[in-house]
Amino acid sequence: MARTVLNQADITRALTRIAHEIIESNKGTQDLVLLGIPTRGVTLAQRIAGIIQGIDPDAPAALSGSLDVTMYRDDLSRTRTRTPAPTALPTSIDGKTVVLVDDVLFSGRTIRAALDAINDIGRPRAVRLAALVDRGHRELPIRADFVGKNLPSSTDERINVRLQEIDGEDSVSIEALA
């Protein structure tokens, strides 16, 4: 049985806090690009971009995009078949601060794949990481710069992020694997 750990209001507060932290860390919104990792990371990047644009009227209109990491993953042979999603950059990432956005940070392997993908696209000034949920269990030396909720969990548990735009509701729940 799943236990809800974040509801819609909690998610909104977390994303608003992350948006403020990104602006503060970047000293404004100049040369800032948010790249969401499909699927839910793209939606979260769009939401964070909207919040940032509401805070800073000088923020770029094209602030968020998506970064497909499918072909950069090191577990393609061990996981279900993935359909690549197109990478959509709002602007060149050269010389910019890129904030990768994902829903759950777990082993760090998806982020490693994202770093490889970015390396093939351009040369940003800096790369940061925002995650709605950090559940621990890192296999690589990767940590998020901006975290909505630290949620220590067992490897025998699953974190489910549901977003209105995709799933019809906003929630984060944790459940035991069967």
pLDDT of 18-51, one tens digit each? 999 999 999 999 999 999 999 999 999 999 999 9
- As a whole number of Å, the CA-based R_g of the chain is 16
DSSP at 88: B
DSSP 150: E
* Number of folded domains that form the chain: 1
- Domain span at residue 67? 3-176
Confidence of residue 79 (pLDDT cuts 50, 70, 90): low
In 28-102, where does DSSP find H-type helix? 40-55
pLDDT-based confidence at residue 82 (cuts at 50, 70, 90): low
CATH number at residue 12: 3.40.50.2020
3-state SS record for 106-133: CCCHHHHHHHHHHHHHCCCCEEEEEEEE
pLDDT at 1: 87
Cβ(98)–Cβ(118) below 8 Å: yes
What pLDDT band is residue 83 in, cutting at 50, 70 and 90?
confident
Q: Dump pLDDT digits (tens) for 129-162.
A: 999 999 999 999 999 999 999 999 999 999 999 9
In the predicted structure, residue 77 carries a pLDDT above the cut 70: no
Other beta carbons within 10 Å of 177: 8
> Is a pLDDT exceeding 80 seen at residue 80?
no
- Share the mean pLDDT of the chain: 95
Please say if the pLDDT value at position 14 is more than 80: yes
Neighbours of 146 (CB within 10 A): 22
Q: Which residues contact 1 (CB under 8 A, 6 or more apart)?
A: 175, 176
pLDDT tens for 89-123 read: 999 999 999 999 999 999 999 999 999 999 999 99
Q: What is the pTM of this model?
A: 0.94
